[in-house]
Structure 1
């Protein structure tokens, strides 16, 4: 059986010099500790090895590292200017009504005031209404529970971004 060729993006990540690889990984997740952990485990034989390392690194983030990772995400409904990843991921808000946008702004501010960080959700494939409903539901969580939900959502986002990195030509 012929081995599957390494996807071009994975081969490139494995071959990048350290500073460039760290920058590529920090574009996936803003946590320096997360990126350094993935950097230290190179080279990756398969995308699955990379995803498993990403999952383990996300699970191992300290509270401070998790806060650093979340700080790299713009609020839902306000993708970072010039950031195609956040615009693509938040596409579900693109056609949202003015009323839904205003509601999301109000809920986002209340969430940030309560928890001290941005509302983090894997927005890919979700509608604006689904994101609003999730925000309304999660704002009632205790801080410890919400931090673990945010960690899970961060892991989903990181996997999607790693897959995009691996598949890039």
Structure 2
């Protein structure tokens, strides 16, 4: 049983740093199962406002940067020592930040550095509105994966 206590709220914030989402998901406690929690969390993250995306991004590291905690595990498949890929990712991150005014965010879990870089280049061609929707969906995907890790026990 997942109850509405300080530990639950802390874990929810770790999954997605959006106060409205944390409050909405926590208000449904207690949850009889992890699947029930994830179902409510999924719906509560659709959609995230522009302000909520900014709030969430404030807690995310740049792809390819030194990470800690969950971000380390999520980016482990994409880790590389290939200097060409590292340089390409740095250049892509800079281009994205110039274009959209925020860090590039992607669900890195299960993706190689090459796949992430290809996706970064594709997304550079999106309109501002399409990219905002993409970032919100990536945040939702990351949050749902994190919930399964954080509440697994």
Do they fold alike, i.e. is TM over 0.5? yes
Deviation at 1:96, TM superposition (A): 3.9
The match for 1:66 is 53
| Correspondence for 2:18 among 16, 31, 35 | 31
Deviation at 1:87, TM superposition (A): 0.8
The match for 1:3 is none
Gaps of 5+ in 2: none
User: CA separation in 2, counterparts of 1:110 and 1:58?
Assistant: 28
Pairwise mapping of residues 33-52 of structure 1 onto structure 2 (< 5 A)?
A: 33-52=20-39
The match for 1:5 is none
The match for 2:70 is 85
8 A Cα contact 2:80 2:86, kept in partner: no
Deviation at 1:43, TM superposition (A): 0.7
User: CA separation in 2, counterparts of 1:96 and 1:131?
Assistant: 15
The match for 2:7 is 20
Q: TM-score, normalised by structure 1?
A: 0.84
| Correspondence for 2:117 among 132, 138, 159 | 132
Please list the CA deviations of residues 113-147 of structure 1 after superposition, one character each: whole Å capped at 9, or x if unmatched: 21122111111010000000000110110010001
Deviation at 1:46, TM superposition (A): 2.1
Pair member with larger Rg:
1
Q: TM-score, normalised by structure 2?
A: 0.92
Residues paired across the two proteins, number: 153
The match for 1:118 is 103
User: CA separation in 2, counterparts of 1:79 and 1:64?
Assistant: 26
Residue 160 (structure 1) aligned with residue 145 (structure 2): yes
RMSD over equivalenced CA pairs, Å: 1.5
